[in-house]
Amino acid sequence: MADPLEKATSRAPASLGEGCLSRYDPDDMSPEDGTEFPGAAELWEKLQDQSDDKSEDPNL
């Protein structure tokens, strides 16, 4: 990696299909490209509870 800017770049995985049928090629993806977020369900519930609390409070 002789170019110092090379390490600051990213690339999207190859895609399959065109237009609205376009999707990333699973064979080109690695674990670094994943979107695993084990706390997503808990975060969603927390945000929904906060949203419900605000909608019930007439002063907000």
| pLDDT of the residue at 11 | 77
Give which of 32, 13, 10 is closest to 22, Cα–Cα: 13
Residue 30 CA, chain-centre distance (Å), reads 15
Distance CA 16, CA 34 (A): 17
Report yes or no on whether pTM surpasses 0.75.
no
Digit-coded pLDDT (tens) for 21-48? 999 998 988 877 777 788 889 999 999 9
Residue 18 confidence (pLDDT)? 93
Taking phi over 0 as left and psi of -120 to 50 as alpha, with beta for the rest, 17 belongs to left
13-24 tens-digit pLDDT:
899 999 999 999
Is the pLDDT reported for residue 60 higher than 60? no
